[in-house]
Structure 1
Amino acid sequence: MDMNAYLSMFIDESNDHLQALNENMLKLESDPEDLSLVQSIFRSAHTLKGMSATMGFEDLASLTHEMENVLDLVRNSKLSMDGFIFDTLFKGLDALEAMVQDIINGGTGKSDVTTIVQSLQSILKGDYKVDGGSATLSADQSTAGESALLDQFQASVLQQSMESGHKAYYIKVTVTENCVLKAARAYMVFDVLERSGEVIKSEPSVQDLEQEKFDQSFTVFIVTTASEEELTSKIMSISEIESAQLTLLDMESLSSLSAAPAAAAVETAPKVQTATQSENGRGANSDKKSSTAVASRTIRVDIERLDTLMNLFSEMLIDRVRLEQLASEIKRAELTETVEHMSRVSSDLQNIVLKLRMVPVDSVFNRFPRMVRDLAKSLDKKIELVITGADTELDRTVIDEIGDPLVHLLRNSVDHGIETVQERIAAGKSETGTVHLRAFHSGNHVFIEVEEDGRGINGEKVLGIAVKNGVLTKEEGKKLTQDEMNMLIFAPGFSTADKVSDISGRGVGLDVVRTKITSLGGNVTVTSAMGKGTKFSVQLPLTLSIISAMLIKLGSEKYAVPLSSIVETGIIKRSSILVVHGNRMIRFRDAIIPLVSLSQVLESPDYDDSEEEETEIIVIQKGDKWAAVTVDDFIGQSEIVLKSLGKYLTNTHAISGATILGDGQVALIVDPNALIK
């Protein structure tokens, strides 16, 4: 069998399980007594181990197996979680993630995890030290790995199968004493059994059997419709099998073999479902149907196919605009009616295509709790991360790029913002600092905020460092407001850290954040109050593929300005233009804002607004800054498809891309952010 065909599926499933492991481990660290979390963690680890072994990634399967052994003791109440165990399991998760990443990069997933395995084995033996004392395990821990007990899930599967008319057998298979290839015989037994039914559990595990980590016998729980005689005959037909002892299970014997009563195991899942049902206002039957339907109607789609779909739809959108233009020129009722219907249908199709590309920011947010936990531990701080709005959706192209900027903002908040426990107590605050990570929609934008209740930004200190680094002069600094001082932390190479560490102090970070967010068509602002905390606010466009824009003219040339940046349009007279310190300004909403000549910025060859008595303007906004831009004439609003200018035109000032209009002309897309200083 060619396993490469399943590699993509393995990677997707592994990442899902690793994320679930991280999330549940963090929850368990907050509530170590919650055994339901341990069960969930164990199931994820068990599934990941089986997948890895099937795909031939033995190092991945082996490390997961060692972690699974520790979790097995915990879920059977034979071991209590403590700081050392949590740290060791988290290190194991890091190693697993590194192995999966190596596989993604084309590697074999091999890694030296000797130290982690030794730590896990010391936990199993109970000979590690915790706070000066030895860890304690129950007396029967040494047999935990050899126990034939069933967990709740396995017991419930067996019970439900028996209730539906199937037979459940406990089989002990013994190979001959002089058997040379025990693993091969075990494989042949499993092959026979799986043709006759479904194997629920084996002891030792499948991996141990493959590695011949057993003496002469192994046991299997199986659900089947075959008779005892049929199974015995099939097993004994395999050479070098000495005996096969089959025991038909009933409800009473099943209860004695399960780690928890089978009935209780079966009832557990419906109780959880009932809580969800009451929230959704549905009955048990409707919930069951709904969950089945959702499972069967959800598929994974290759990202490249979505990109191809978007490109094809973009071409269709260009043709739609062209048809609308032709229909308005020809003025034939049948054509106009058909084009209008096509426009309505394509608008609905556009919404569907865009929604297909929308991804919840949870796909980015879900890696931050673990990161903040590790940072807080390394800095000896107590920090709570509160995430809200994780279901807010963004275009996939934006999601792919926003992760690293948010990492910088969170690390900055944890390192520079939140004080140490002693500093917080001295300031009259709770010893645990809080970092809020929230996302929400507003118009055609998504806002992501990182806010903490730490020490705040010292504007005077920031200004002093900025002057020292030559970012601005003392005279320029005296004119800055508090918010403008705070924005100086985004200057290239700027750092307020007193010493360089693994986390900060190298002068790399916030300038990268602003550069990346600006390249996405967004902006970032910061507000802060000394002693109360700091808030970073990131504004991002919903999508980077299809946008609404205002089409304008500059002489014979056409340009597009994104509507998301336009506050309003208007006409001004030359007599209303003010000159302040040599700069042209106009009055707008009780404020004085700069007037920018787009023809001068873009060096338009056949239009000069200085000769106009009246000129059209577009008022644009970037954060809390405003500017008015002079244009020749307005063409109107339109949906446009963004096209890259290519690698040869990467540094074109004030131009972010291009689009093809309905008449086939190319219009450049103006970057409003570049027009506001």
Structure 2
Amino acid sequence: MAFDADEEILQDFLVEAGEILEKLSEQLVDLEQHPDDSNLLNAIFRGFHTVKGGAGFLQLEALVNCCHSAENVFDILRNHKRKVTSELMDVVLEALDHVNAMFDQVRNREEPTPAPDELIAALDELAKPEGDTAAPAPATPEPEPAAGAGNDSGDITDEEFEQLLDALADEKGAEQQPAAAPENTSANDAGSDGDEITDDEFEALLDQLHGKGQFAGPPVVDNDTPPEPEPEEPAKSSTGDDLITDDEFENLLDELHGKGKSPGAAPAAEAKPEPAAKPEPKKPEPKQPEPARQDAKPAAPAAPARDAAPAAETTVRVDTKRLDDIMNMVGELVLVRNRLQRLGSESEDEHMHKAVANLDVVTTDLQAAVMQTRMQPIKKVFGRFPRVVRDLARGLKKEINLVMHGEETDLDKNLVEALSDPLVHLVRNSVDHGIEMPDVREKAGKPRAGTVTLSAEQEGDHILLSISDDGAGMNPDVLRRKAVEKGLYDQDAADRLTDNECFNLIFAAGFSTKEQISDVSGRGVGMDVVKTKIGQLNGQINIVSEQGKGTSIIIKVPLTLAIMPTLMIMLGDQSFALPLVNVVEIFHLDLSKTNIVDGRECIVVRDKVFPLFHIKRWLVHGAAGQKEPENAHVVIVAMGTKQVGFVVDQLIGQEEVVIKPLGRALQGTPGMAGATITGDGRIALIIDVPSLLQHYG
């Protein structure tokens, strides 16, 4: 393998092939739903062909061989010599898995491991026409499918081109013998003597394909009759110049492919113009294209197109580390802006106020622009699910349609990567737990095929992700019973759980409603991982389910993790920052009006019960022995699926902060996500709500 090749060429291959392979996964699953889509078949054929070409240039033989075998299968499919079946797609998707694995090895500068011989053999078997694969058969049926292929895609293989040249020589001989036997015998002999055709024959072929014979025919003799053809010839010749246009070349390829009726129809129409007019006028013929060339030059708008072409280069590749560095610098600028705003508010200088206001506008715009460069469409995550659902449905013998909305919704690249695993768990859970077997659905009056819907939308500075199914829904009573069996609750506490709280039990570690453990689910690990991961992203997760109708899981995550809107609070004389995404509401409370439920201090707000935590006792040294005030502010925060109340001394207000990692001495401190510098120049610790409650609550 040529790893010592130009690094830029290798990077170009990795970028281009990576995008193609991502698309192929979706296209292959789509093809199974729409097997007669010729555009899709051609797109997949071209995808494998392009990856093969790049791999061949880098001498990646293992990758070339696998792509070549897959490409052959789609060549047969697009020529309608075989039908798309689930079994065929299983083999092709397995081949794509091996291509992806080899591509990852190339990315890591490792020698790619060849695909198994059995897989290549299976692909080669599928690359043969369905049924009888005898050699003579293609002679007659081949032209019609090939014509369709020629229209859909301009690519022909080297072998096809060689065969077509042979066929041309035979066809030309067959056409010319009856029409002009005496004068064309020499050209015929020359064409049949060898595989190669002469320049004169190729010129004659071009004339025939362009229909030139129809104009050269009426004069019949070599008499001085150019005045008649002259006016008509330029009109035809403007497209039939020595330099043929793209459309003409496409038509030529169609003819070369043996396009059913055209070759047969052409000789019939050209039978009379053909005699003796073709080979003899070879010498005067150059005179005819010349006026056409002169006419074509002023009319052709080729030059402006060439001048405009360089403007197409509108993108540049930038290392993500450089973007992260720029984001960090913008973060520092935000901190300086916050500091100046605080100082400006204390000043009475009008010019100072204007300058700070201008700085605020510019900083906000710059921050938004830099964040935009880090954004990626969530399609990067959604793109893998058609394959996941398809494979899982086949393994579980279920019929499932996947519907996706909002694939173009943008969010921070770090979030795109972080959301990948949780969403896979949730989609697998919907397919396995949510959607019933086809027979069960039919008895319940539902369509045999279930539907899983993935959607994404932006709401303010957050992204809402939803995974819904039209399956059986969740039974709260079953969940209560399981919670008691697992020892999570006693019977009385379980009976008091609301339906929504029962649904949220599925996020408990080790909790599963499956009676039997399979390779898909049943260990109670997946949903616990989802909850933990969403919590780390400062996100919230909620479940809505109706028995017999289906289940929806809604995730809310911030657009970016780099700059965070927070609520600044005071505990004693120390500043802390609560991520605003966790804050639900704030109110003033008379602490003498609290209640004790299950041994825990609680407050009741609008008939809802919230556990109450005095976080000052946890976070401020020496606060535990101090006398509690009678009144305080309570901040209701959401943590995953739960909501609790935090008692705080003072509310400062909302502020955008840049998260800075804690130093070695403080790293790993429970309940702390990092630190920041506030507008008044003090250092504030950023509270990690889930870890704070897990450790202290």
Match among 464, 467, 480 for residue 447 of structure 1: 464
Question: In the superposition, relative to structure 1, how do residues 484 and 202 fare at CA in structure 2: closer, same or farther (>3 Å)?
Answer: closer
Q: Distance in 1 between matches of 2:38 and 2:352?
A: 67
Question: In the superposition, relative to structure 1, how do residues 664 and 201 fare at CA in structure 2: closer, same or farther (>3 Å)?
Answer: farther
Q: How does 1:368-447 map to 2 (within 5 A)?
A: 368-447=385-464
Match among 473, 480, 498 for residue 515 of structure 2: 498
SS across alignment from 2:584: strand
Q: How does 1:74-223 map to 2 (within 5 A)?
A: 74-126=77-129, 134=131, 140-141=137-138, 203-204=158-159
Deviation readout 1:33-82 (Å, 9 max, x if unpaired): 22121111111111111111112211111111111112112222333323
Question: In the superposition, relative to structure 1, how do residues 15 and 584 fare at CA in structure 2: closer, same or farther (>3 Å)?
Answer: same
Q: Distance in 2 between matches of 1:367 and 1:101?
A: 16
SS across alignment from 2:644: strand
Deviates more, 1:62-71 or 1:8-17: 8-17
| Structure 1 match to 2:335 | 318
Percent identity between the two aligned chains: 36
SS across alignment from 2:657: strand
The offset of 1:431, in angstroms, is: 1.0
The offset of 1:156, in angstroms, is: 8.6
Deviation readout 1:359-399 (Å, 9 max, x if unpaired): 21111001101110011111111011111121222211111
Question: In the superposition, relative to structure 1, how do residues 556 and 29 fare at CA in structure 2: closer, same or farther (>3 Å)?
Answer: same
Q: How does 1:573-584 map to 2 (within 5 A)?
A: 573-584=590-601
Question: In the superposition, relative to structure 1, how do residues 379 and 551 fare at CA in structure 2: closer, same or farther (>3 Å)?
Answer: same
The offset of 1:350, in angstroms, is: 0.9
| Structure 2 match to 1:31 | 34
| Structure 2 match to 1:356 | 373
Q: Distance in 2 between matches of 1:607 and 1:635?
A: 23
Q: Distance in 2 between matches of 1:450 and 1:137?
A: 51
Q: RMSD over aligned Cα, in angstroms?
A: 3.7
Q: How does 1:250-399 map to 2 (within 5 A)?
A: 252=210, 253-258=252-257, 296-329=313-346, 331-399=348-416
The one-letter amino acid of 2:8's match is A
Q: Distance in 2 between matches of 1:294 and 1:540?
A: 38
Match among 1, 5, 10 for residue 2 of structure 1: 5
The offset of 1:401, in angstroms, is: 0.7
The one-letter amino acid of 1:600's match is R
Match among 19, 28, 45 for residue 16 of structure 1: 19
1:479 aligns with 2:478: no
The one-letter amino acid of 2:158's match is E
Query: Quick check: 1:155–1:258 contact (8 Å CA) kept in 2?
Result: no
Q: Distance in 2 between matches of 1:104 and 1:589?
A: 57
1:524 aligns with 2:524: no
Match among 555, 558, 564 for residue 541 of structure 1: 558
1:58 aligns with 2:61: yes
The offset of 1:292, in angstroms, is: 8.2
Which has more radius of gyration? 2
1:43 aligns with 2:46: yes
Q: Distance in 1 between matches of 2:448 and 2:432?
A: 15
Question: In the superposition, relative to structure 1, how do residues 43 and 531 fare at CA in structure 2: closer, same or farther (>3 Å)?
Answer: same
The one-letter amino acid of 1:305's match is R
Q: Distance in 2 between matches of 1:143 and 1:41?
A: 27
Q: Distance in 1 between matches of 2:397 and 2:457?
A: 32
Higher strand proportion (structure 1 or 2): 1
Q: Distance in 2 between matches of 1:607 and 1:259?
A: 91
The offset of 1:468, in angstroms, is: 2.8
The offset of 1:117, in angstroms, is: 1.0
The one-letter amino acid of 1:400's match is E
Deviation readout 1:64-101 (Å, 9 max, x if unpaired): 11111121122223333233322221121111111112
Q: Distance in 2 between matches of 1:294 and 1:455?
A: 55
Deviation readout 1:259-291 (Å, 9 max, x if unpaired): 769x9xxxxxxxxxxxxxxxxxxxxxxxx99x9
The offset of 1:299, in angstroms, is: 3.6
Q: Distance in 2 between matches of 1:362 and 1:19?
A: 10
Query: Quick check: 1:152–1:260 contact (8 Å CA) kept in 2?
Result: no
The one-letter amino acid of 2:32's match is E
| Structure 2 match to 1:182 | none
Query: Quick check: 1:78–1:138 contact (8 Å CA) kept in 2?
Result: no
Deviation readout 1:583-641 (Å, 9 max, x if unpaired): 33334334343332120132344697843233233233346644332222222221111
Query: Quick check: 2:150–2:257 contact (8 Å CA) kept in 1?
Result: no
Deviates more, 1:579-588 or 1:144-153: 144-153
Q: Distance in 2 between matches of 1:78 and 1:306?
A: 50
Q: Distance in 2 between matches of 1:29 and 1:309?
A: 44
Query: Quick check: 1:395–1:544 contact (8 Å CA) kept in 2?
Result: yes
The one-letter amino acid of 1:348's match is D
The offset of 1:664, in angstroms, is: 3.9
| Structure 1 match to 2:249 | none
Query: Quick check: 2:617–2:623 contact (8 Å CA) kept in 1?
Result: no
Deviates more, 1:63-72 or 1:642-651: 642-651
Question: In the superposition, relative to structure 1, how do residues 491 and 669 fare at CA in structure 2: closer, same or farther (>3 Å)?
Answer: same
SS across alignment from 1:108: coil
| Structure 2 match to 1:72 | 75
SS across alignment from 2:338: helix
The one-letter amino acid of 1:532's match is K
Q: Distance in 1 between matches of 2:311 and 2:491?
A: 63
Q: Distance in 2 between matches of 1:654 and 1:626?
A: 16
Which runs of no fewer than 5 residues in structure 2 stay unpaired? 168-194, 211-251, 263-304
Deviation readout 1:2-59 (Å, 9 max, x if unpaired): 3333333322211211122222222221121221211111111111111111122111
Which runs of no fewer than 5 residues in structure 1 stay unpaired? 128-133, 158-199, 207-213, 220-241, 264-287
SS across alignment from 1:499: coil
